[in-house]
């Protein structure tokens, strides 16, 4: 799993040859902690097909603002550097997987 910062965002996320799942989170966020195991599992399951990344909004406020993140967790899927999907709040792993599958076709 890659932790994104303002310094590596363009290289790691926008220019990634793979679709990118970005988890915008904070350490103090209960729903973020609840969704974390699903994000980690998807990182393993989609290892060679999707790049899974995390953005700590307390440390990377500019990235959160760039994508209009006002509630967390927020999951954004980028494909070819463009936002392909966005989900706000806790959702089951299967729902996230279905959204990843949709951008892989």
Q: Write out pLDDT tens, residues 8-66.
A: 999 999 999 999 999 999 999 999 999 999 999 999 999 999 999 999 999 999 999 99
Q: What CATH code is carried by the domain that includes residue 22? A: 3.40.30.10
Structural domain count of the chain = 1
Mean pLDDT of 66-70: 95
Cα–Cα distance measured from residue 32 to residue 15, given in angstroms and rounded to the nearest whole number = 26
Cα–Cα distance measured from residue 92 to residue 99, given in angstroms and rounded to the nearest whole number = 11
The residues carrying an active-site annotation are: 29, 32
Task: Look up the pTM and report it.
Answer: 0.96
Q: What is the pLDDT of residue 68?
A: 95
What is the pLDDT confidence band of residue 100, given thresholds at 50, 70 and 90?
very high
Q: Check if the beta carbon of residue 29 is closer than 8 Å to that of residue 23.
A: no
Provide the b/e sequence for 31-69 (b: ≥16 CB within 10 Å): ebeebeebbeebbeebeeebbbbbbbbeebeebbeeeeb
What is the pLDDT confidence band of residue 96, given thresholds at 50, 70 and 90?
very high
Cα–Cα distance measured from residue 101 to residue 99, given in angstroms and rounded to the nearest whole number = 5
C-alpha to C-alpha distances, 9 to 35, 77, 81, nearest whole angstrom: 22, 14, 10
Q: What is the pLDDT of residue 76?
A: 98
Residues spanned by the domain of 24:
2-104
């Amino acid at each position: 799993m890659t932790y994104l910062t303002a310094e590596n965002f363009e290289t790691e996320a926008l220019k990634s040859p793979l679709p990118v799942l970005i988890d915008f989170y904070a350490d103090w966020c209960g729903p973020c902690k609840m969704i974390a195991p699903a994000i980690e599992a998807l990182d393993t399951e989609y290892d060679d097909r999707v790049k899974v990344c995390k953005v700590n909004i307390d440390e990377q406020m500019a990235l959160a603002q760039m994508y209009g993140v006002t509630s967390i967790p927020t999951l954004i899927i980028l494909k070819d550097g463009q936002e392909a999907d966005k989900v706000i709040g806790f959702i089951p792993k299967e729902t996230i997987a279905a959204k990843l599958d949709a951008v892989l076709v």
